[in-house]
Chain A
Amino acid sequence: ETGVTQTPRHLVMGMTNKKSLKCEQHLGHNAMYWYKQSAKKPLELMFVYNFKEQTENNSVPSRFSPECPNSSHLFLHLHTLQPEDSALYLCASSQGTGREKLFFGSGTQLSVL
């Protein structure tokens, strides 16, 4: 148990669906992150939030929309996804955005049909 909880663990959606991924951290951290990990590929950093403010958007398509209502919760809203968006989506948190270690959740395995 890392203190970072992601739901759902698995998600299957059609290309016209709208769904949301949820992440919650119980560590009192101030920074939260979304990563994408496709099969046989390295992790790709998508978004960074620090004190609820988005500080990084790594050229992510607009069909992925993050939301950070407070420092403990992070959402990733999905709409009109493509099959190539199928991947493991990982949420992480850290105390700050310096050299503090990242704590990852177990991820949401997303399949887009």
Chain B
Amino acid sequence: LAKTTQPISMDSYEGQEVNITCSHNNIATNDYITWYQQFPSQGPRFIIQGYKTKVTNEVASLFIPADRKSSTLSLPRVSLSDTAVYYCLVGDENTGFQKLVFGTGTRLLVSP
């Protein structure tokens, strides 16, 4: 079963681009990569999902190399309100409930 590894924390300043990398060496062929954001005392919120190459939406971009053993969430020009915990999940219906397992995530702190 795929397991993810992320940095525990990251610091940034307003206006900078932030890249958070997730390692998933045992990713299976059918697995997708999904990122969530969580603010204190709230439930996680879906940010972006991808399978390969690059995916972009109004919030972020997701970069996935050809071997898919890692992925990078890119947040352009962060603001103070982007301070949150970011989770990387890997899985598909074939992996059962493991696809719904959130790790420790990356705690991003954005300063003025």
- Which residues of A are in contact with B by a Cβ distance under 8 Å? 2, 4, 33, 35, 42-43, 45, 48, 55-56, 58, 88, 90-92, 96-99, 101-107, 109
Contacts and interface: CB of A to CB of B under 8 A. Distances in A.
Interface stretch (B19-27, B73-81, B91-99): B91-99
Contacts of A107: 41-43
Given A99-B32, A99-B92, A101-B34, A43 B44 contact: yes
Interface of B: 32, 34, 36, 41-46, 49, 91-93, 96-97, 99-105
Given A42-B104, A88-B41, A107-B41, A99 B46 contact: no
Contacts of A92: 43
Contact of A58 (B46, B91, B97, B102): B97
A91 B99 CA distance: 16
B43 A45 contact: no
Nearest to B96: A56
B46 A42 contact: no
Contacts, number: 56
Dominant SS among interface residues on chain B: mixed
10 contacts: A2-B45, A42-B104, A90-B44, A98-B93, A99-B32, A99-B92, A99-B99, A102-B36, A106-B43, A107-B43
B43 A42 contact: no
B7 to A, nearest CB: 15
B100 A42 contact: no
A33 B100 contact: yes
Contacts of A33: 100
